[in-house]
Amino acid sequence: MHAMNISLMAAVAMAATSLPTLADYVVKEVGSFHVGGRTAALSGMPTRDVVFSPGAPAIKVDPNGEFAVEQMYVQCVKLAQPKAKVPILFWHGGGLTGVTWETKPDGRPGWQHFFLEAGYDVYVSDAVERGRASWARYPEIFKSEPMFRTRKEAWELFRIGPSYEIGGARVAFEGQQFPIEAFDQFAKQGVPRWVTNDAATQTAYDALVDKVCPCILVVHSQGGNFGFNAALTAPDKIKALVAIEPSGAPDPTKVDIGKLKGVPHLIVWGDLRDKVAVWQRLPIAPIKFGEAIVAAGGKADVFDLPVMGIKGNTHMLMMDRNSDEVARLIHDWILKQGLVN
Amino acid sequence: MHAMNISLMAAVAMAATSLPTLADYVVKEVGSFHVGGRTAALSGMPTRDVVFSPGAPAIKVDPNGEFAVEQMYVQCVKLAQPKAKVPILFWHGGGLTGVTWETKPDGRPGWQHFFLEAGYDVYVSDAVERGRASWARYPEIFKSEPMFRTRKEAWELFRIGPSYEIGGARVAFEGQQFPIEAFDQFAKQGVPRWVTNDAATQTAYDALVDKVCPCILVVHSQGGNFGFNAALTAPDKIKALVAIEPSGAPDPTKVDIGKLKGVPHLIVWGDLRDKVAVWQRLPIAPIKFGEAIVAAGGKADVFDLPVMGIKGNTHMLMMDRNSDEVARLIHDWILKQGLVN
């Protein structure tokens, strides 16, 4: 019996040293996949002479053939023992990729990490045309030219500051929360965007919901509209929808808004919206959409952060200095929806 | 004492249920960052009228400004208790991204997962111009047009089979190991490529090595040449280099090959190379490079898989049906270099 005790105690001690610390988590799988998309075929285009290595003879390249287009990329981290009853999906905004949710530009862990630690299985995706989703030849397959966001546009549109001069002064808003010393690092996360891929993107998002949900959606900016539409298409599969500064929403008079009665919504707004003209206009449709959900008997809570005393948040509030404070508010709201054990 | 036994046994039982299974691993961090790159500025280009939403009035878009270009994207998964003494870095081939190393197209866990389970901290990157690294306007910043790989080219160049007809028959080589039922899924992983970004790509890879190594490099195809050059630049930081079907290598008479004396190399070749003309030519430079390392007193082992009795491997051997058998051989070789505790 004494020997038994010692071996038991040894087992406990061993178990203790190999147990994760509070900050670690036990992962079942880090995985990825592409979802959605279609086959596009090109024919009749001329061959092109391409020099692959400087000095080497040109090789004829035939651009005709079949291509995989309009798929999206999804990466998941699944926990051995998730506490959340359903996974959480993070959808990025325009001109960006899933990197939005990963490590912040200043090196602090991102919301992907925050929600893993909080016990959620986390899916982070790159929408059609961006990042690991890939993109297709234009104008033959994608129907317009891509646009490249300048640093100045990011600085001003994302409400970091009122002015950005090329090679010169960057003026930030007083009290704003973006870690501006990491702004150039953030700019590396930008990807080109098209204005003609919305339908394909929605189709791919709907395919993702169909594949991995029931789930919680957290959507940002341009992702807001895709999220609202995905919930209208599959309301039984979206257990909660958190829209971070959505830049658009469907017209509630043109959709069956009653379908969203059972989908709790939370819309989160940062600060400094009165400082940038476009931010007077962009929230109008999402606010109207949320009000229509409530009028239809559903739930659409609003966290207007400065009204709640949380000041200085930019459009990229998942990267702001106080971003984990905001993440905690969202996690608490999800807890109240009964979605975490 | 009886009560003590019970509480000990309860503790053991509790510890047992919260311990990872053999297939799980305890993660300290899932993180990402961009490394390298430079600022490019465009000026004097005309504004463009862009319709952002169908039916809406056009908005003037000014394409001039500063852009972050030529950075690369890196994702790391760090273990709470790695067994490997240094992390392992996976570099993909041309027209592909880090997805190469993630979940295989047929849904089985990829080499990223294999090496995490084996106890390595794993870094998977997207080189300049691809995936989450983003790409830049051409011909103003990138100096040529992108190329889009057709499914036919992937099927034939990667030695899956001798012929691929658009909308028709796909003939596979007898005994080949690629899961052809997942070929269309694999095609979704392809991204456009440029032939004029090699110098920028090498610079970014060198910056990555400088940031995160000492390390083990595992490079594939086009990544081979970048890996050999990175080792020549920082031989003290590369503790082993595994080149999977490298498609090129520096001319050993034009570099200081003696610098690689202390860097153990392993070159791995799949099967079916005699079936595809270009595969008579591509291995010539890497084979010569490996021989020069050995002649200089270094180590450059070769795994010619069919000679070792492992048949049917394609160019995408990390996705083949027997890919984990190959991963195990590589892991065993790394063990022999004394790099795993």
Query: A266 near A240, Cβ under 8 Å?
Result: yes
Nearest residue to B314 (alpha-carbon basis) of B172, B110, B193: B172
Nearest residue to A118 (alpha-carbon basis) of A80, A82, A77: A82
| Residue appearing with tokens 């694999």 | B186
pLDDT tens column, A263-290: 999 999 999 999 999 999 999 999 999 9
Domain assignment of residue B176, given as a range: 27-336
- Asked if A67 lies within 8 A of B150 by C-beta distance, the reply is yes
Question: What tokens does A74 get?
Answer: 């999804």
Question: What pLDDT, on a 0 to 100 scale, did the predictor assign at position A23?
Answer: 54
The whole-angstrom separation of Cα B172 and Cα B158 is 11
Query: B320 near B159, Cβ under 8 Å?
Result: no
Q: Assign residue B256 the CATH number of its domain.
A: 3.40.50.1820
- Burial group, residue A75, by CB count within 10 angstroms (0-12, 13-18, 19+): buried
What is the full per-residue pLDDT of chain B (341 aa) written as tens digits? 343 344 444 443 444 444 444 457 788 889 999 999 999 999 999 998 888 776 777 888 899 999 999 999 999 999 989 999 999 999 999 999 999 999 999 999 999 999 999 999 999 999 999 999 999 999 999 999 999 999 999 999 999 999 999 877 899 999 999 999 999 999 999 999 999 999 999 999 999 999 999 999 999 999 999 999 999 999 999 999 999 999 999 999 999 999 999 999 999 999 999 999 999 999 999 999 999 999 999 999 999 999 999 999 999 999 999 999 999 999 999 999 999 99
Say which of A32, A152, A190 has its CB closest to residue B134. A190
pLDDT-based confidence at residue A5 (cuts at 50, 70, 90): very low
In chain B, the number of structural domains is 1
DSSP E strands: which ranges in A156-223?
A: 163-164, 170-171, 215-220
Tell me whether residue A242 is in a domain. Answer: yes
- Asked if A31 lies within 8 A of B137 by C-beta distance, the reply is no
Tell me whether residue B229 is in a domain. Answer: yes
Say which of B34, B61, B109 has its CB closest to residue A189. B34
Tell me whether residue A199 is in a domain. Answer: yes
Tell me whether residue A14 is in a domain. Answer: no
Q: Closest residue of A to B113, CA-based?
A: A30
pLDDT of residue A10 exceeding 50, the answer is no
ipTM above 0.95, yes or no: no
Tell me whether residue A222 is in a domain. Answer: yes
Say which of B80, B185, B189 has its CB closest to residue A24. B80
Q: What is the pTM of this model?
A: 0.93
Contacts of A89 (CB under 8 A, 6+ apart): A123, A124, A125, A208, A209, A212, A213, A215, A216, A217, A218
Q: Closest residue of B to A94, CA-based?
A: B52
Tell me whether residue B39 is in a domain. Answer: yes
- Which residues in chain B are closer than 8 Å to A132, comparing Cβ atoms? 97-99, 126, 131-132, 189, 191
Tell me whether residue A9 is in a domain. Answer: no
pLDDT of residue A257 exceeding 70, the answer is yes
The whole-angstrom separation of Cα B128 and Cα B193 is 10
Mean pLDDT, residues A144-160: 96
pLDDT tens column, A219-256: 999 999 999 999 999 999 999 999 999 999 999 999 99
- Which residues in chain B are closer than 8 Å to A184, comparing Cβ atoms? 39, 68
Tell me whether residue B83 is in a domain. Answer: yes
